[in-house]
């Protein structure tokens, strides 16, 4: 008989000890004896491991419901084992895509198919890879790129549901824009949901009698709380159109919590709904208000109403009220709103429409238009300078706007195809330049929209070409020898002077960037050569030209005479971007270590 001190402990203490063991040690302990095996198979033990090891779960697991049930009703150990296997398979694919350009897009797609079940794994690769790892930049970049795929897929699923008139909440539809610009920050749909739950709970906790208040008092009290916590509104009118003001998660999590009226009303309505208040955004032009409706059987002030079904009268102050949480916590009198409508030129016959609740689709489209205006304003501010907004990223916000217009189309179904045709070339251009890993989103989301249309053939050709390029090994470009250059070599000319990974500053325009490709002489089309006046350069078109990525994310083609190499550590934004082509920054060599060896074996 085992007489060790451990075996003498009661089951309760052994179980408590096991809670502190890592999963692998739990299994090992269970193999020591029959009693240990019995305890380590307890559902509570593996429930704890699931909670501690994984924060994110695919919706199909219904993890929130499982946590609310008695532990014995869920096979927690099997669930944990499935997640571990998913992690191993995804990690094998991830390691393979880092090693070779061939099949890289395909492997990224396969990892991304794991959805939120691989998000914890990818976050560890992105956030916990040590700075001295051999492939630190590549590992962080591709983990973040796949996370972006997963987020964008989730966003498109929400918008597709809305486009098909299926049930989807306002905060999910607007939060889908945030999924494009997260950039590692807090703001996932689950984060937004939990924060709105927390705010609603805080409002109720401050007033034990909240549930007994009339709808009118509840509505006003909710607005007062949001404004007292600076969660709605914008004190800086000069930054009204700032890009950050279009995103709910930034308003909720990032000081100074500023937002546009639309986002403020969306936050208000989401919190109000959690408190039993029927609040929706309005159709009011230029400035969205919240429309609050009385509950059936009572007025806004709690007075009994006829029990027989009747439609709410939008002109009856006992049935409908308006609040502008962006400006104030007090009710906005209907007559004041009507006066402003008349001043804007809206005829009285249209007032009921503007004062009534609008659709979630209209709010989504309106948000897209606002983002478009904010991006254009941000680009105007940045034009002529290399300074960029760190967060939210302008290009990511622009991509979100393009996708929303492509998926949601137009409020008029007759105009939807026309809108999609307008958006298509801009979206494809952005995908090719910034998000080639989104090929499967193009294939599965956009192609079906143009079935039977002239664009369908073009899209299928694009997809086939991209799949073929991904499946094939890149053709190698060897550095030319002096013999190769004999037809035009000048004594003392080193040929292609700079290697892949060179960090440089443009001699004429001052921007910084990195070299990701080269040609021994200008290989651009004659029209581009003429337009860019290449032949007027001192060394003309016969000098080497370099494919470079600038610090504003643009891809450019630069003559060698305009390259000024730099050896100091690049800025953080360029380091984050560099992982798409390079393993790490080599301070000794003063350049990036290439991850393009298949394409440029000599560099």
Residue 151 burial (CB count, 10 A) = 22
* Closest of 399, 403, 407 to residue 450, by C-alpha: 407
Instruction: Tell me, yes or no, whether 471 lies in a domain.
Output: no
Helices (H), 435-523: 439-441, 454-471
Please provide the DSSP assignment of 38-101 as one string. HHHT-HHHHHHHHHHH-S---GGG-HHHHHHS-GGGS-HHHHHHHHHHHHHHHHHHHHHHHH-S
Residue 192 CA, distance from chain mean position = 13
Instruction: Tell me, yes or no, whether 154 lies in a domain.
Output: no
The C-alpha atoms of residue 557 and residue 334 are separated, in whole angstroms, by: 59
Please provide the DSSP assignment of 319-347 as one string. TEEEE-TTT-SSBPPHHHHHHHHHHTT--
Kindly state the helix (H) or strand (E) to which residue 278 belongs, with its residue range.
strand 278-281
Instruction: Tell me, yes or no, whether 327 lies in a domain.
Output: yes
Flag residues of the chain having pLDDT under 70. Answer: 1-7, 27-32, 34-38, 307-311, 383-390, 411, 481-494
Q: Where are the beta strands (DSSP E) in 197-259?
A: none
Query: Residues 6 or more apart from 165 whose CB is under 8 A from it?
Result: none
The β-bridge relationship of strands 563-566 and 555-559 is: unpaired
- The residues facing 548 across adjacent strands are 515, 556
The domain total for the chain is 2
Instruction: Tell me, yes or no, whether 7 lies in a domain.
Output: no
- Domain with residue 566: its CATH number is 2.30.30
The pTM assigned to this predicted structure is: 0.90
The C-alpha atoms of residue 95 and residue 239 are separated, in whole angstroms, by: 44
Residue 347 burial (CB count, 10 A) = 8
Per-state percent for the chain, helix, strand, coil, to nearest 5:
55, 10, 35
Instruction: Tell me, yes or no, whether 296 lies in a domain.
Output: yes
Instruction: Tell me, yes or no, whether 408 lies in a domain.
Output: no
Residue 311 half-sphere exposure toward CB, CA atoms < 13 A: 3
The C-alpha atoms of residue 399 and residue 140 are separated, in whole angstroms, by: 21
**Cα torsion at 351, 369, 288, 357 (round to 10°)?**
60
The C-alpha atoms of residue 326 and residue 257 are separated, in whole angstroms, by: 12
Q: What is the pLDDT of residue 195?
A: 97
* Closest of 144, 83, 145 to residue 118, by C-alpha: 83
- The residues facing 514 across adjacent strands are 503, 549
The C-alpha atoms of residue 522 and residue 543 are separated, in whole angstroms, by: 7
Query: Residues 6 or more apart from 556 whose CB is under 8 A from it?
Result: 513, 547, 548, 549, 550
Instruction: Tell me, yes or no, whether 66 lies in a domain.
Output: no
Instruction: Tell me, yes or no, whether 495 lies in a domain.
Output: no
Query: Residues 6 or more apart from 48 whose CB is under 8 A from it?
Result: 19
The β-bridge relationship of strands 503-506 and 563-566 is: antiparallel
Q: What is the pLDDT of residue 313?
A: 74
The C-alpha atoms of residue 52 and residue 493 are separated, in whole angstroms, by: 61
Distances in Å between the Cα of 446 and the Cα atoms of 356, 449, 483 are 34, 5, 49
Owning domain of residue 354:
175-303+313-361
Q: What is the pLDDT of residue 487?
A: 47
What single-letter DSSP state applies at residue 2?
-
Name the CA radius of gyration of the chain, rounded. 29
The C-alpha atoms of residue 267 and residue 134 are separated, in whole angstroms, by: 44
* Closest of 272, 232, 192 to residue 280, by C-alpha: 272
Q: What is the pLDDT of residue 309?
A: 58
């Amino acid at each position: 008989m085992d007489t060790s001190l451990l075996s003498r402990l009661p089951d309760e203490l052994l179980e408590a000890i096991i809670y502190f063991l890592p999963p692998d040690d739990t299994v090992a302990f269970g193999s020591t004896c029959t009693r240990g095996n019995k305890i380590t198979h307890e559902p509570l033990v593996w429930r704890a491991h699931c909670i501690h090891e994984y924060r994110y779960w695919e919706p199909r697991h219904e993890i929130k419901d499982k946590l609310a049930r008695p532990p014995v009703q869920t096979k927690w150990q099997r669930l944990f084992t499935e997640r571990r296997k998913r992690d191993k398979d995804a990690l094998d694919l991830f390691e393979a895509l880092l090693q070779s350009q061939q099949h890289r897009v395909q492997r990224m797609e396969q990892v991304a198919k794991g959805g939120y079940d691989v998000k914890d794994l990818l976050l560890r690769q992105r956030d916990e890879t040590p700075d001295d790892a051999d492939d630190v930049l590549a590992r962080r970049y591709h983990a973040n790129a796949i996370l972006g795929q997963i987020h964008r897929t989730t966003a498109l699923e929400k918008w597709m549901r809305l486009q098909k008139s299926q049930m989807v909440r306002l905060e999910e539809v607007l939060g889908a824009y945030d999924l494009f610009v997260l950039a590692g920050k807090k703001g996932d749909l689950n984060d937004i949901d939990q924060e709105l739950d927390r705010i609603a709970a805080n409002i109720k906790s401050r007033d034990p009698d909240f549930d007994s208040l009339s709808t009118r008092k509840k509505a006003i009290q909710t607005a007062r709380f949001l404004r007292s916590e600076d969660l709605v509104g914008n004190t800086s009118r000069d930054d009204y159109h700032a890009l950050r003001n279009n995103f709910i998660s930034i308003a909720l999590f990032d000081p100074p919590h500023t937002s546009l009226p639309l986002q403020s009303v969306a936050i208000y309505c989401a919190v109000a709904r959690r408190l039993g208040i029927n609040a929706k955004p309005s159709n009011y032009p230029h400035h969205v208000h919240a429309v609050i409706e009385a509950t059936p059987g009572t007025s806004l002030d709690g007075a009994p109403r006829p029990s027989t079904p009747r439609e709410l009268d939008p002109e009856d102050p006992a049935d409908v009220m308006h609040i502008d949480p962006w400006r104030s916590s007090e009710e906005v009198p209907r007559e004041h709103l009507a006066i402003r409508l008349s001043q804007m030129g809206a005829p009285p016959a249209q007032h009921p429409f503007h004062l009534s609740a609008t659709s979630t689709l209209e709010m989504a489209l309106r948000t897209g238009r606002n983002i478009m205006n904010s991006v254009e304003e941000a680009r105007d501010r940045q034009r002529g300078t290399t300074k960029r907004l760190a967060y939210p990223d302008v290009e990511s916000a622009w991509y979100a706007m393009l996708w929303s217009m492509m998926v949601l189309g137009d409020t008029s179904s007759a105009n939807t195809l026309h809108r999609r045709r307008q958006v298509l070339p801009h979206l494809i251009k952005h995908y090719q330049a910034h998000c080639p890993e989104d090929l499967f989103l193009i294939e599965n989301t956009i192609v079906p929209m143009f079935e039977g249309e002239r664009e369908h053939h073009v899209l299928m050709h694009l997809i086939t070409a991209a799949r073929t390029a991904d499946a094939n090994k890149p053709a190698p470009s060897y550095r030319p020898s002096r013999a190769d250059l004999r037809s035009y070599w000048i004594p003392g000319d080193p040929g292609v002077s700079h290697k892949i990974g060179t960090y440089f500053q443009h001699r004429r325009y001052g921007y910084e960037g990195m070299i990701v490709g080269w040609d021994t002489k200008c290989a651009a089309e004659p029209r581009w050569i003429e337009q860019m006046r290449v032949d007027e350069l001192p060394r003309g078109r016969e000098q080497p030209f370099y494919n470079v990525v600038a610090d504003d994310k643009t891809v450019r083609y630069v003559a060698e005479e305009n390259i000024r190499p730099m050896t100091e550590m690049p800025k953080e934004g360029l380091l984050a971007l560099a992982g798409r082509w390079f393993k790490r920054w080599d301070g000794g060599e003063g350049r990036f270590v290439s991850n393009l060896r298949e394409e440029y074996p000599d560099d």
